[in-house]
A and B are shown apart, each in its own frame.
Chain A
Amino acid sequence: MTQVWDTLPQVLIDGLTLGAIYAIIALGYTMVYGILELINFAHGEIFMAGAFIGTAVLIGLTGLGWVAVMPAIFVLLIVLVITGGLTGMLGMGIERLAYRPLRKASKLITLITAIGVSFLLQDIVRFITETQQNNYIVNTPSLFPGSLSVSGLNIRYSFLVVIIVAILMMIALEFFVNRTKWGLAMRAVAQDQDTASLMSVNVNKVISVTFFVGSALGGATGVLFAIHYGTIDPYIGFILGLKAFTAAVLGGIGNIRGAMAGGMLLGLLEMFAAANLSAITAGLLSSEYKDVFAFAILILVLIFRPEGLFGRAAIEKV
């Protein structure tokens, strides 16, 4: 037990970082699901693409000599904006080409297309990276090196950056969804597409905007991930996306605040499991089981509370 207490502060810090990342990716899933009732499998891949685009932009800026002269936070801002814009367009393009023609088709088919898109993206990123540098694992230059040391606790600067940027993004999204006209239109389309279109809401455009916003956030999170963890490869998106989806389900899918809370909760739980699973079970389960732990949570939530912790149960009408 003492070990659990000793590691707790570090677990909290790591858990919050991971949780913030899960939370923002979960937002993308939840927004799309809220509107189209579609699990956008490719969202994890958009996150991955964001990490790669961000790294490329960062390396490019370093090559231009901008990073050396500008304050790091300013560089981060530029990278985030460029990456967010590009991944947003990517998300919009995917929706236009792969999902829109199938909007009336059965859900099974759309889900399969989504898997196809995610495979395609993985491989495209892999071979672009591999033709550039013979290896698809990329090291991101660290923008915020160094760390604070508070009473034996190691807090990296990038941790603070990730948390602050993540919180800002969430606040911005809340504002966008609840206070702007586009947000209003989005909520209307989520409630009832046909009625919304009767109220002169351009449904297709709203869906495009939703994909743009969700994907831009996902891509920006990819940048944060790359900066904090340092190494990226084309296959990070899949499992991470799956866990972010778990977070979205945990918080009640379609519910934006729920996704944030679910992401944080899942990040904390996973880090806790990674640090303490072998200690608690007396060596029976190694920390390798942390992924099993996350999926087990997903399955349990879906069985006992499919509407999520903060969602309302949907009634199926015939």
Chain B
Amino acid sequence: MKKILEQIRGNKWLQLGLLVGYIALTSLSLILAQRSVAAFLLLLLSFLLLYYTKLPNWSKWAIGLAIMFFILPFSAMQGPAYQEYMDVATLVGIYVSMALGLNIVVGMAGLLDLGFVAFFAVGAYTYGIFATAQASNFMPFGTYPLSGNSFWIFIILGCFVAALFGVLLGIPVLRVKGDYLAIVTLGFGEIIRIVFNNLDQPVNITNGALGLSSIAPPKIFGIELLYSNQIYFVVLFILLFVIFAVRSLEHSKLGRSWKAVRENEIAAQAMGIPLVKTKLMAFAIGASFSGMMGVVFAAKQAFIDPTSFTMLQSINILVMVLLGGMGSVPGVILGAAVVTILNAQVLNELTMWFNSLSTAGIITLPDAMSPVKMQRFFFGALLILFALYRSKGLIPAKNVVYDKQKFLSEKGTKKRLQSVAAPKEDEHGHTGS
């Protein structure tokens, strides 16, 4: 057994063959089994396997993209639960982007933000207000609702509005540190929710607790994107953009400043890192990802109200980041996917399973303990266990390792500078979804 594992570890082609076999097997079983959550989850697991293979980066990306764009939609299409699967996949995409946004703030810059969902809400309401008749209550010009064609502009708009709110939150809390910051952001999140809940008077802007309904679906080339399988591709494109942005930021000057600020503020400042700018950028960029996905969320659900943006949601996203590994991009993607699937599918399935068991009379579970209601319990337990025993998460963040030998052997200053500018990474692709 050990020998086989060794061989697999060493041989790229064997890995590729096994992976292709695995993907073929799971997608086939998804096609044949019609309504099997297990097959769907196993197919998603192939992203994680892909991450751990030793293939070159570009081929990992190619395989990952092929799964996301073709294999997953195609094999889910065959069964009656098609929209259900695509809905889950869309949610995963939305939450992965949000978690990546929070990862910048918490994981990279070390600023604990407990009100992160506020930016999601801002994005959702930005689109929601203008894509329903709501805007005509206070806008002096224009006719509302805007058509679904405006959705594409609103993605960018939501991004900027959320970034603006991020800076607005950032400026006053810059003087506050560590755990105080957590409390202030928590308060900020609650303030945003309460304000949205009460902004139906004196001018009705958000329609208060009733929420905004029948939000216009996005439209492209005259086609309305109504169903999850269509929104899925929109989410996919944004997600790829977010991943690309995060990857480039991580190793940029800004990304390194974030990490420096996280490790020691005073030392970072002494090294000439502008604290204010660095922190504000973290808030703004983190918030903007969340805002974009808020717009998509509003368009997908076609209904939003303040109850979608509670504290629990903020903690939810924090769990994703912590579970995956603070500061680690592949880890956070994995964490977000796991938590979202747990929330959207596994808990429901478990509840149904328990219900069927209790109707069959095998065991009786009181209604109060049905897994769907125990969400807080599971999250709380996950937070504690991970903080105590694996505080670095499922896939811990790795720092760039410089090749010392290469660094020392090259005498020329020019070459040395080059090797600093283009560091060798010790981590590869990150399509672990």
Q: Which residues of A contact B (CB under 8 A)?
A: 38-39, 98, 101-102, 105, 107-113, 115-124, 126-127, 130-131, 134, 238-239, 242, 245-246, 249, 283-284, 286, 288-289, 291-292, 295-296, 298-299, 302-303, 306, 316, 318
Contacts and interface: CB of A to CB of B under 8 A. Distances in A.
Contact of A127 (B112, B178, B373): B373
Contact of B376 (A98, A119, A302): A119
Given A245-B183, A303-B175, A126 B368 contact: yes
B315 interface: yes
B194 A108 contact: no
B184 A298 contact: yes
Interface string B332-372: 00000000000000000000000000000000001111000
A120 B180 contact: no
B345 to A, nearest CB: 20
Contacts of A109: 387, 391
B295 interface: no
Contact of B110 (A108, A122, A306): A108
Contacts of A116: 379-384, 387
A292 B369 contact: no
Interface residues of B, number: 49
Contact of B384 (A38, A108, A120, A124): A120
A127 B368 contact: yes
B377 A120 contact: yes
Nearest to B182: A111
A113 B172 contact: no
Given A120-B381, A306-B175, A288 B198 contact: yes
Interface in B94-144: 106, 110, 112, 114
A292 B197 CA distance: 12
B270 to A, nearest CB: 9
8 contacts: A111-B112, A113-B384, A123-B380, A126-B376, A284-B202, A295-B191, A299-B188, A306-B180
A296 B183 contact: no
B374 A289 contact: no
B180 A112 contact: no
A242 B183 contact: yes
Nearest to B195: A292
Contacts of B384: 98, 113, 116-117, 120
B175 A112 contact: no
B274 interface: no
Contact residues of B: prevailing secondary structure? helix
The 4 A-B residue pairs with the shortest CB-CB distance, nearest first, are: A116-B383, A119-B380, A130-B368, A120-B380
Given A102-B388, A116-B384, A117-B384, A298 B187 contact: yes
Contacts of A117: 380, 384
A39 B190 contact: no
Contacts of B172: 299, 303
Contact of B377 (A123, A246, A283): A123
B322 interface: yes
A288 B197 contact: yes
- With most chain B CB atoms within 10 A of its CB, the pick from A117, A242, A292 is A292
Interface of B: 106, 110, 112, 114, 172-173, 175-176, 178-180, 182-184, 186-188, 190-191, 194-195, 197-198, 201-202, 266, 311, 315, 318, 322, 326, 366-369, 373-377, 379-384, 387-388, 391
Contact residues of A: prevailing secondary structure? helix
Contact of A105 (B112, B366, B374, B391): B391
A167 to B, nearest CB: 28
B100 to A, nearest CB: 18
A39 B186 CA distance: 13
A191 B231 CA distance: 57
- With most chain A CB atoms within 10 A of its CB, the pick from B114, B187, B375 is B187
Nearest to A298: B187
Nearest to A283: B202
A40 to B, nearest CB: 10
B175 A298 contact: no
Given A113-B384, A242-B186, A306-B180, 8 more contacts: A111-B179, A112-B387, A118-B380, A120-B381, A130-B367, A286-B201, A292-B190, A299-B184
Contacts of A303: 172-173, 175-176
B387 A113 contact: yes
B388 A38 contact: no
A130 B383 CA distance: 24
Contacts of B391: 105, 109
B176 A131 contact: no
A107 B179 contact: yes
Nearest to A135: B368
Given A119-B376, A123-B380, A124-B377, A306 B176 contact: yes
A123 B376 contact: yes
A281 to B, nearest CB: 10
Contacts of A126: 368, 373, 376
